[in-house]
Amino acid sequence: MAISNPEFSTSSVMEPVHLSAAGYHANAPTSVLVLAAIGVVFGDIGTSPLYALKECFSPEHGIPYSAGAVMGIISMIFWSLILIVTVKYVIFVLRADNNGEGGVLSLMALALRATRSDQQKLSAGLLMLGALGACMLLGESVITPAISVLSAIEGLEVITPDMKRYVIPITLVIVVLLFYVQRYGTAAVGRLFGPIMVIWFAVLALLGVTNIIGNPQILASVSPLYAISYIQQHTFQAYIVMGSVVLAVTGVEALYLDMGHFGRKPVRLAWLLVALPALLANYFGQGALVLSNPEAIHNPFYLMAPEWALWPMVCLATAATVIASQAVISGAFSLANQGILLGLLPRMEILHTSETERGQIYMPMVNWALLVLVMFTVVQFKESGNLAAAYGISVTTTMLITTTMLAVVMYKEWKIKPIFVFTLAALFFIVDFSFWTANLIKVKDGGWYPLGLGAICFLLLTTWYKGRRLLRERVVADSIRLQDFVSALLAHPPHRVDGTSVFLTAHIDFVPVALLHNLKHNRVLHERVIFLKLSIWDVPYVRDEERLTVTELAGNIFVVRAVHGFKETPDINHVMALLEQKTGMTLELSGTSFFLARDTIVPSNLPGMAIWRERLFAWMMQNAAKPSDFFKIPPNRVVELGTKIEI
Hey, which residues does 495 pair with through a beta bridge? 524
**CA proximity to 275, closest of 114, 86, 125, 513:** 86
Euclidean distance between CA atoms 190 and 168, whole angstroms? 27
State the helix-helix crossing angle for 30-40 and 310-341, rounded to 10 degrees. Answer: 100
The per-residue pLDDT for 16 is 32
The Cα–Cα gap between 218 and 25 comes to 41
What does DSSP say about strands 638-646 and 557-565: parallel, antiparallel, or unpaired? unpaired
Q: Residue 281 and residue 275: Cα distance in Å, rounded?
A: 10
More confident of the two residues 625 and 70: 70
Residues in Cβ contact with 413 at an 8 Å cutoff, skipping those fewer than 6 apart:
96, 110, 111, 113, 114
What was the pLDDT predicted at 359?
58
User: Which distant-in-sequence residues (6+ apart) come within 8 Å of 26 by Cβ?
Assistant: 263
Torsion 62-65-66-71 (CA) sign: positive
**What's the average model confidence in pLDDT over 354-372?**
79
pLDDT tens by residue, 228-238 = 999 998 888 88
Per-residue pLDDT reduced to its tens digit, 587-604: 877 788 999 888 788 888
**CA separation for the pair 473, 645 (Å, rounded):** 11
HEC per residue, 446-495:
CCHHHHHHHHHHHHHHHHHHHHHHHHHHHHHHCCCEHHHHHHHHHHCCCE
120-153 and 384-408 helices, crossing angle to 10°:
150
Cα–Cα distance, 35 to 191 (Å, whole number): 10
pLDDT at 531: 93
- Position with higher pLDDT, 119 vs 381: 381
**Taking residues 433-461, what's their average pLDDT?**
88
CA–CA distance from 639 to each of 526, 595, 596, 646 (Å)? Answer: 14, 5, 6, 23
More confident call, 30 vs 552: 552
Query: If 0-12 CB within 10 Å is exposed, 13-18 middle and 19+ buried, where does residue 231 land?
Result: middle
* Sign of the alpha-carbon dihedral angle for 630, 633, 635, 638: negative
pLDDT of residue 572 exceeding 80 = yes
Distance in angstroms (rounded) separating the CA atoms of residues 574 and 344: 24
Angle between helices 104-114 and 310-341 (to 10 degrees): 30
Mean pLDDT of the chain: 85
- Residue 436 backbone dihedrals phi, psi, to 5 degrees: -65, -50
Q: Which long-range contacts (CB under 8 A, 24 or more apart) does 421-425 make?
A: 424/92
For residue 98, give every residue at least 6 positions away whose Cβ sits within 8 Å of its Cβ, in sequence order, or none.
106, 107, 109, 110, 538, 539, 540
Give 501's strand partners. 529, 593
DSSP secondary structure string, 39-80? HHTSHHHHTGGGTHHHHHT-GGGT----HHHHHHHHHHHHHH
| Averaged pLDDT, 440-447 | 82
pLDDT beyond 60 at 11: no
Per-residue pLDDT at 354: 62
| Separation of CA 94 from chain center | 15
The pLDDT value given to residue 285:
96
pLDDT in tens, 159-212: 888 888 889 999 999 999 989 888 776 555 556 678 899 999 999 999 999 999
Q: Is the pLDDT of residue 444 over 90?
A: no
| Inter-residue contact 75 to 238 (CB < 8 Å) | no
- Domains of the chain plus CATH, in order, are 35-466 (1.20.1740.10), 481-646 (3.40.50)
Does the pLDDT of residue 123 top 90, yes or no?
A: no
Is residue 109 a contact partner of residue 96, using CB atoms and an 8 Å limit? no
Q: CA distances (Å), 449 to each of 137, 252, 319, 327, in order?
A: 13, 20, 26, 22
Give the pLDDT of residue 477: 80
- Classify residue 423 by burial, with Cβ atoms within 10 Å: 0-12, 13-18, 19+: exposed
Q: What does the CA dihedral 7, 9, 12, 13 come to, rounded to 10 degrees?
A: -160
Q: What's the confidence (pLDDT) of residue 18?
A: 34
Strands 524-537 and 557-565: parallel
Given pLDDT bands bounded at 50, 70 and 90, which one contains residue 17?
Answer: very low
Output the DSSP codes for 26-43: TTS-HHHHHHHHHHHTSH
What pLDDT, on a 0 to 100 scale, did the predictor assign at position 190? 55
Q: Which of 624, 632, 631, 628 is nearest to 641 (CA)?
A: 628
Measured from the Cβ of residue 646, the count of other Cβ atoms closer than 10 Å reads 14
What is the pLDDT averaged over residues 432-454?
87
Percent of the chain with pLDDT over 70: 92
- According to the model, what pLDDT value does residue 57 have? 86
DSSP secondary structure, 369-397, as one string: HHHHHHHHHHHHH-SHHHHHHHHHHHHHH
Stated as kind and residue range, the H or E segment containing 268 is helix 264-270
Winning range, highest mean pLDDT, from 118-132, 454-468, 477-491, 508-522: 454-468
Region 248-268 average pLDDT? 84
Per-residue pLDDT, averaged over 401-417, amounts to 91
Q: Count Cα atoms within 13 angstroms, Cβ side, for 638.
A: 19
CA dist 304 to 205, 297, 360, Å?
A: 11, 11, 38
Is the pLDDT reported for residue 7 higher than 70? Answer: no
Stretch 469-477: mean pLDDT: 84
Residue 15, pLDDT > 60, answer no
Arithmetic mean of pLDDT, 130-135: 90
What is the reported pLDDT for 636? 83
Tell me what the mean pLDDT of segment 20-45 comes to.
71
Give CA–CA dist 323/382, Å, rounded: 21
Q: What is the pLDDT of residue 73?
A: 94
Kindly report the backbone phi and psi dihedral angles of residue 566, in degrees, each rounded to the nearest multiple of 5, phi listed first: -80, 0
How much is the pLDDT for 20?
35
Task: Please give the full DSSP string across 542-572, using - where no structure is assigned.
Answer: --GGGTEEEEEEETTEEEEEEEEETTS---H
Q: Which residues contact 325 (CB under 8 A, 6 or more apart)?
A: 43, 144, 145, 148, 149, 175, 178
Burial track 485-495 (b if 16+ CB lie within 10 A, e otherwise): bbeebeeeeee
User: How long is the chain?
Assistant: 647
Supply the DSSP symbol for 510. B
Identify the band that residue 647 occupies on the pLDDT scale cut at 50, 70 and 90: confident
118-132, 426-440, 483-497: which range is least confident on average?
118-132
